[in-house]
């Protein structure tokens, strides 16, 4: 009991947390800590794993971030479950070693926050061939039905450049179904659908008119980024980090560069950190403007769509003026920033985003008085608070259902610790709450850009040379769509040995089906737009 009281009292500070782990799991797990990285590492056996994870998630309210699987040098596997909680708590890495002969470990999906492990386990099963005992739904996830059984592309012995072998289409394929009402049927949507929709496939189960349940099918766009990055030099892999999801290129590029910098033990100069903050917020602003355009478009509000699209396009042009590229490709490099805007350019940028903020305020004011618009958003696609926690949802979607979690506050990077901003939260969890979060975050982004650029430190924008080092690091950033976790391991030549990305879309698409239950069919595009997720980012 005493231990539990201590947990309730104080989980702050990594030192005390490591001590707590030692006292509680003394004989079952080894706790080590890294104060500089605010990290506590718990090494435990396969059988203790569910207990440790249950303790972390159910009792301490930690959130599962990502599962990192590595094939170790001596034959076998290393699995690291990464957890995080709040600004006072450290990262917790729960590590498990598997011997070469063992290819099965217990599934964690039955735990209190089980759903958050679900997709990670399915992905690992598909790509590494590791079995999770007790998981009810393995297989047919990343690799689609016609992929040959037993070929696991993330294993070392699989050649990434092996070309596709045309395979026969399986004529026995039938859609999976859950609804068994008499007369129930499935409305297929996609993979090629709508005007400019990303390739994904949704099976809407219905008995007509109202959809009872949605079964999404993703990974149509799986390009094996994590696999093809292996063996590439860091600066070449940076291209992959930027371009696997072009609409959040800067955020993911930044996370990759932060991982490289952490491995090499260097820190970018202050001016670079400030510029990174400004550009990251510029990207967030643009991404949110795009999401707002999408929501207006889904409700067929033509003028609002055009107004939002005008804002989006001006932000694209602004990005191009600031960095030379409309999507900020090539702007971030390990050790700093590739382009150094002159003082007038910065002033122009600040003035332009202030103007855009005014435009967004006007738009929101008008939208709030358009009852036809609100009718279609309010109460549509509701994600309950409890689901947001058990699914470990991130970003604006989680913040729209009362979960105020933001990597910028939890683990400040770039210059975020130096700027003052707030994390907007709404409680309802419906489409309208998500829209309000988008608008309020856009407002904050403008404020951050203003703050950072008006007091830009002088000096270089990048380190001259970074000497490559072997090592591994986890970098987390708050991408426009939510928390992104990049795990990078470099070998001594500075080449990528393992690259693991858990983008926010991956985490949040998993929660999509919660919002897409028991709705009228015509609301489907609205629920889709109010989630505003990217399949490219999810599928990698």
Window of 75-83, 145-153, 445-453, 495-503 that interacts with another protein by CB under 8 A? 145-153
Cα distances from 327 to residues 243, 249, 251, 313, 513, in angstroms, run 10, 7, 11, 11, 30
Choose, by CB under 8 A, the member of 89, 124, 319, 444 that binds another protein: 319
Q: Does 180 bind another protein (CB under 8 A)?
A: yes
Window of 29-37, 76-84, 160-168, 469-477 that interacts with another protein by CB under 8 A? 160-168
> What is the closest distance, in whole angstroms, from the C-beta atom of residue 26 to another protein in the complex?
30
Are 294 and 367 spatial neighbours (Cβ–Cβ below 8 Å)? Answer: no
> Given the complex with another protein, which of 189 and 356 has the nearer CB atom?
189
Greatest Cα pair distance, the chain, in angstroms, is 71
Q: Does 197 bind another protein (CB under 8 A)?
A: yes
> What is the closest distance, in whole angstroms, from the C-beta atom of residue 469 to another protein in the complex?
22
> Given the complex with another protein, which of 249 and 442 has the nearer CB atom?
249
Q: What single-letter DSSP state applies at residue 194? A: T
Q: Does 477 bind another protein (CB under 8 A)?
A: no
Q: For residue 408, what is the enclosing H or E element?
A: helix 407-410
**Footprint on residues 382-421 left by another protein (CB under 8 A):** 390
Window of 44-52, 209-217, 443-451, 492-500 that interacts with another protein by CB under 8 A? 209-217
> What is the closest distance, in whole angstroms, from the C-beta atom of residue 213 to another protein in the complex?
6
Choose, by CB under 8 A, the member of 75, 188, 265, 459 that binds another protein: 188
Task: Return d(Cα 134, Cα 30) in angstroms, integer.
Answer: 26
Q: For residue 127, what is the enclosing H or E element?
A: helix 115-128
Q: Does 455 bind another protein (CB under 8 A)?
A: no
Q: Does 277 bind another protein (CB under 8 A)?
A: no
Dihedral sign from CA coordinates of 154, 160, 164, 165 = negative
Q: Does 183 bind another protein (CB under 8 A)?
A: yes
Choose, by CB under 8 A, the member of 35, 58, 155, 236 that binds another protein: 236
Choose, by CB under 8 A, the member of 131, 223, 368, 469 that binds another protein: 223
Choose, by CB under 8 A, the member of 6, 22, 131, 243 that binds another protein: 243
> How many residues make contact with another protein (CB under 8 A)?
115
Residues in the chain: 540
Q: Are strands 336-337 and 332-333 parallel, antiparallel or unpaired?
A: antiparallel
Dihedral sign from CA coordinates of 208, 210, 212, 218 = positive
**Footprint on residues 82-111 left by another protein (CB under 8 A):** 107, 109-110
**What is the residue whose two structure tokens read 């889904």?**
298
> What is the closest distance, in whole angstroms, from the C-beta atom of residue 170 to another protein in the complex?
8
> What is the closest distance, in whole angstroms, from the C-beta atom of residue 511 to another protein in the complex?
10
Q: Does 177 bind another protein (CB under 8 A)?
A: yes
Q: Does 179 bind another protein (CB under 8 A)?
A: yes
Structure-block tokens of residue 501: 């990305």
Q: Does 187 bind another protein (CB under 8 A)?
A: yes
**What is the residue whose two structure tokens read 């090592």?**
471
CA 397 to chain centre: 11
**Footprint on residues 248-267 left by another protein (CB under 8 A):** 248-249
Task: Return d(Cα 469, Cα 262) in angstroms, integer.
Answer: 10
Which residues 6+ apart lie within 8 Å of 91 measured at CB?
37, 38, 39, 40, 82, 83, 84, 411, 474
Q: Does 22 bind another protein (CB under 8 A)?
A: no
Task: Return d(Cα 337, Cα 452) in angstroms, integer.
Answer: 15
> What is the closest distance, in whole angstroms, from the C-beta atom of residue 241 to another protein in the complex?
10
> Given the complex with another protein, which of 189 and 255 has the nearer CB atom?
189
CA dihedral 245, 249, 255, 260 (to 10 degrees): 100
- Three-state SS at 42: strand
Nearest alpha-carbon partner for 85 in 405, 501, 481, 397: 405
> What is the closest distance, in whole angstroms, from the C-beta atom of residue 54 to another protein in the complex?
13
> What is the closest distance, in whole angstroms, from the C-beta atom of residue 510 to another protein in the complex?
10
> Given the complex with another protein, which of 189 and 473 has the nearer CB atom?
189
> Given the complex with another protein, which of 112 and 418 has the nearer CB atom?
112
- Three-state SS at 467: coil
Q: Does 71 bind another protein (CB under 8 A)?
A: no
Task: Return d(Cα 405, Cα 56) in angstroms, integer.
Answer: 17
> Given the complex with another protein, which of 292 and 419 has the nearer CB atom?
292
Q: Does 75 bind another protein (CB under 8 A)?
A: no
> What is the closest distance, in whole angstroms, from the C-beta atom of residue 17 to another protein in the complex?
28
Window of 417-425, 440-448, 452-460, 531-539 that interacts with another protein by CB under 8 A? 531-539
Q: Integer distance in angstroms from the first to the last C-alpha of the chain?
A: 45
**Footprint on residues 287-316 left by another protein (CB under 8 A):** 290, 301-304, 306-307, 309-310, 312-313, 316
Task: Return d(Cα 526, Cα 531) in angstroms, integer.
Answer: 9
Choose, by CB under 8 A, the member of 162, 344, 420, 467 that binds another protein: 162
Nearest alpha-carbon partner for 438 in 426, 450, 448, 428: 426
Q: For residue 473, what is the enclosing H or E element?
A: strand 471-479
Window of 68-76, 214-222, 277-285, 376-384 that interacts with another protein by CB under 8 A? 214-222
Q: Does 372 bind another protein (CB under 8 A)?
A: yes
Are 13 and 85 spatial neighbours (Cβ–Cβ below 8 Å)? Answer: no
């Amino acid at each position: 009991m005493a231990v539990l009281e201590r947990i309730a009292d104080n989980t702050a500070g990594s030192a005390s947390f490591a001590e707590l782990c030692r006292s509680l799991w003394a004989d079952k797990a080894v706790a080590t800590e890294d104060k500089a990285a605010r990290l506590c590492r718990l090494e435990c056996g396969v059988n203790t794993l569910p207990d440790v994870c249950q303790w972390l998630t159910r009792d301490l309210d930690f959130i599962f971030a990502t599962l990192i699987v590595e094939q170790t040098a001596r034959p076998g596997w290393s699995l690291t479950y990464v957890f995080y909680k709040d600004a006072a708590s450290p990262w917790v890495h729960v590590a498990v070693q598997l011997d070469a002969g063992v290819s099965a470990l217990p599934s964690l999906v039955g735990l209190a926050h089980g759903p958050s492990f679900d997709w990670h386990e399915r992905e690992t099963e598909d790509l590494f061939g590791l079995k999770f005992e007790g998981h009810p739904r393995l297989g047919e996830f990343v690799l689609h039905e016609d992929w040959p059984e037993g070929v696991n592309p993330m294993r070392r012995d699989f050649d990434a450049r092996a070309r596709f072998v045309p395979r026969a289409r399986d004529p026995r394929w039938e859609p999976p179904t859950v609804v068994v009402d008499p007369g129930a049927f499935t409305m297929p949507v996609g993979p090629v659908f709508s005007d400019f929709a990303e390739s994904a496939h949704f099976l809407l189960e219905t008995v007509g008119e109202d959809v009872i349940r949605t079964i999404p099918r993703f990974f149509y766009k799986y390009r094996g980024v994590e696999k093809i990055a292996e063996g590439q030099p860091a600066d070449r892999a940076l291209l992959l980090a930027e371009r696997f999801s072009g609409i959040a290129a800067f955020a993911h590029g930044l996370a990759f560069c932060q991982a490289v910098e952490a491995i090499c033990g260097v820190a970018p100069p202050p001016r670079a950190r400030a510029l990174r903050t400004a550009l990251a917020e510029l990207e967030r602003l643009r991404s949110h403007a795009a999401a707002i355009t999408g929501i207006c478009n889904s409700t067929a509000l033509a003028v609002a769509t055009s107004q939002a699209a005008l804002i989006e396009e001006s932000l694209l042009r602004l990005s191009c003026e600031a960095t030379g590229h409309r999507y900020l490709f090539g702007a971030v490099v390990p050790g700093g920033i590739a382009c150094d805007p002159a003082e007038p350019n910065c002033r122009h940028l600040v003035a332009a985003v202030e103007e855009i903020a005014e435009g967004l305020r006007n738009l929101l004011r008008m939208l709030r008085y358009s009852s036809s618009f609100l009718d279609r958003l309010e109460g549509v696609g509701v994600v309950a608070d409890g689901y947001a926690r058990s699914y470990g949802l991130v970003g604006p979607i989680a913040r729209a259902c009362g979960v105020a979690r933001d990597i910028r506050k939890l683990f400040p990077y770039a210059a975020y610790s130096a700027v003052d901003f707030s994390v907007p939260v709404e409680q309802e969890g419906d489409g309208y709450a998500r829209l309000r979060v988008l608008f309020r975050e856009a407002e904050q982004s403008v404020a951050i850009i203003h703050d950072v650029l008006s007091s830009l430190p002088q000096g270089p924008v990048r380190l001259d040379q970074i000497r490559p080092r072997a090592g591994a690091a986890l970098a987390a950033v708050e991408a426009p769509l939510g928390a992104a976790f990049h795990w990078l391991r470099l070998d001594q030549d500075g080449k990528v040995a393992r690259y693991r990305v858990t983008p926010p879309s991956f985490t949040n698409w998993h929660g999509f089906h919660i919002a897409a239950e028991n709705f009228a069919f015509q609301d489907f595009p609205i629920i889709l737009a109010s989630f505003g997720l990217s399949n490219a980012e999810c599928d990698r």
